[in-house]
Amino acid sequence: MTPLDYEFLCKLLKERSGLDLSADKRYLVESRLLPLARRHDLPGISELVQKIRAGAEAITAEVVEAMTTNETFFFRDKLPFDHLGEEIIPALLQARAGRRALRIWCAAGSTGQEPYSIAMVLKEMGAALSGWRVEIVATDLNQAVLEKSKSGLYSQFEVQRGLPIQLLVKYFKQTGEMWQLDPAIRAMVQHRQLNLLHDFSHLGTFDVVFCRNVLIYFDQDTKISIFNRIAKMLEPDGYLALGAAETVVGLTDAFKPHATRRGIYRPNADRRAPSIVPSAMPALRLVAAR
């Protein structure tokens, strides 16, 4: 891969997905795109880039998908799911007792481990949610990972990373060397393809948004834009969960950190009107023009 190839791929990925690759991420591009090149009988990444430059849209989509597939596992970091079961859902059960409905959005649902972990937390609450309408919406840019998520089929390796053994026995059925998630848990999650760079207001409003370990790949202006647009979709008493290494601090005043629950943020009632930082707009326009 030549420096020009790398520069071309960085620009392409930024425009298509918001992925912000620094100069030290060449290894990541090589490790993910070389297998893709081989699958297409191409000797290397330079030849892959030539195909994209020539307008091979299917290969371009595969490149974006290969680069935006992120590692995930059940109950990743554990703490956000403890917060969900111990405080967030109990508080919302009181606050929404009138309408008996909850909406939760997994903004980067990937292969399903996160939305299904949320679904299992809710299921474990048993009768408390009986008669409630619960929607878990899992979105991802990558159609291939959404299809895997929909299948609810996981390898032995995948079900051993973060999933307590009691929940494996309770909610999964062994089929050969794979494990199939209970249809009742799968039915709790809706899947939709979504690019976070695009307008997502059509998803409606949510009580809880999980947006974990995805914004780390975006530049600062894009993060600010996404945070401000999420703020508009979150109920005033809602909750935002971010990844362990992520924060809104210094990026937006639309949210404030939860006083005691690390990684949880609440809408900031004292903030001024949300605004999108002007420098974030060119990236949005580029995507919209496609």
Partner 1 sequence: MKTCLVVDDSSVIRKVARRILEGLDFQIVEAEDGEKALEICKRSLPEAVLLDWNMPVMDGYEFLRNLRRMPGGDQPKVVFCTTENDVAHIARALHAGANEYIMKPFDKDIVMAKFHEVGLI
CB-nearer residue toward partner 1: 16 or 212: 212
CB of 49 to partner 1, least distance (A): 33
Pairwise CA distance, residues 108 & 105, whole Å: 9
To partner 1, the closest distance from the beta carbon of 71 in angstroms equals 10
Least distance in angstroms from the C-beta of 165 to partner 1: 4
Question: Do 109 and 211 contact (CB within 8 A), yes or no?
Answer: no
Stretch that binds partner 1, among 120-128, 140-148, 169-177, 247-255 (CB under 8 A): 169-177
Nearest-5° Cα angle at 59, 56 to 64: 125
Residue 151 CA to residue 68 CA, distance in Å, equals: 20
CB of 161 to partner 1, least distance (A): 5
Rule CB under 8 A: say whether 25 interacts with partner 1: no
Which residues from 63-92 bind partner 1, rule CB under 8 A?
Answer: 73, 78
If one asks whether residue 165 binds partner 1 (CB under 8 A), the answer comes out as: yes
Q: Which range of residues in 86-94, 162-170, 230-238, 254-262 is near partner 1 by CB under 8 A? A: 162-170
State the number of binding residues for partner 1 (CB under 8 A): 14
CA distances from 285 to 18, 19, 180, 201, 277 (A): 12, 16, 41, 17, 13
Q: Which of 2, 31, 46, 174 is in the footprint of partner 1 by CB under 8 A?
A: 174
Report the residue number, 84 or 102, with the smaller CB distance to partner 1: 84
Contacting range for partner 1; rule: CB under 8 A; set: 30-38, 164-172, 240-248, 256-264 = 164-172
The reply to whether 262 sits near partner 1 by the rule CB under 8 A is no
C-beta of 110: minimal distance to partner 1 in Å?
A: 17
Q: For residue 41, what are the contacts with CB-CB under 8 A and spacing of at least 6?
A: none
Binding flag, residue 164, partner 1 (CB under 8 A): yes
Q: Is 168 in the site for partner 1 (CB under 8 A)?
A: yes
CB of 117 to partner 1, least distance (A): 13
The residues in 142-161 that bind partner 1, with binding defined as CB under 8 A, are 156-157, 160-161
Binding site for partner 1 (CB under 8 A): 73, 78, 156-157, 160-162, 164-166, 168-169, 173-174
